[in-house]
Amino acid sequence: MELYRLFIAVEIENREVYNNILRIRDVFKGINANLKFVEDENIHLTIRFIGEVPQSLIPEIINAMKPASNIESFDMKVEGLGAFPSDVRPRVIWIGVTEGTEKLRSLRNTIEVGLRRLGIRPERQEFSPHITLARVKSGRNIDKISKLILEFKNYVAGVTRVTKVKLKRSILRPQGPLYIDIHEVKLK
C-alpha cells in the first residue's frame, strides 16, 4: 500500500504579489545565515496539512474538498514578516496574511468537516495563515535574521485573489520537496 504525503493549499495567483514575496525572501540570502529557502515553485499557503495517507483515500479527500466550491472567491492581503516560534528565536520565517484570514478559516473549516468524516485527525495547532519563506538550520547569524524580521515587520507584498484551492502531494527529496498538484477546486 503506497502512502502519499498530502496537503491542501492556495497559491499566490497575483504575479506581482508572488514576485514581492520572492523579493523579501531573497533579502535573507545576503546575511550569511544557515537557512533553507522555499523554492520559487513551492511558495504557497497551507490550508491543511493532511500527512501520509493511503493512495486509495485520495478520491474521498477530493470529495471532502467539493463543498469549497460553494465559497466565494476572495481577496487576501499578504503582509508582515514573522517567525515561529518567535521573532527572537526563529525556526521558520514567514510572511503573514492581514486581510482574508476569516475567509481562509472558513475555507479550511469547510474542508475540515469532510476530512474528519474520513477519520483524518484535526491538526493540533491553531490555524495561523502564513506563507513559509525559509527554515532556520542553525544559530549562525540568528541576530541578523531577527533584525531583518523586525525591520520588515510591516512589509506589504500586496493583495491577491483566491479563486481555487488545491490538493497537493509532497515528495520529500534531499534537494528539497517536490510538490505535485493532484486536484483543484474552483471557488465561486
Q: Which of 25, 48, 108, 130 is catalytic?
A: 130
Question: 11 is written with which cell numbers?
Answer: 497559491
Dist. CA 30–CA 4, nearest whole Å: 36
State yes or no: is 44 an active-site residue: yes
**Is there a contact between 167 and 6 (Cβ–Cβ < 8 Å)?**
yes
Burial class (CB in 10 A: 0-12, 13-18, 19+), 123: middle
Burial letters 134-145, b for 16+ CB under 10 A, else e: bebeeeebeeeb
CA nearest neighbour of 142 among 94, 83, 80, 95: 83
Q: Which of 44, 48, 108, 168 is catalytic?
A: 44
State yes or no: is 183 an active-site residue: no
Residues annotated catalytic, as ranges = 44, 130
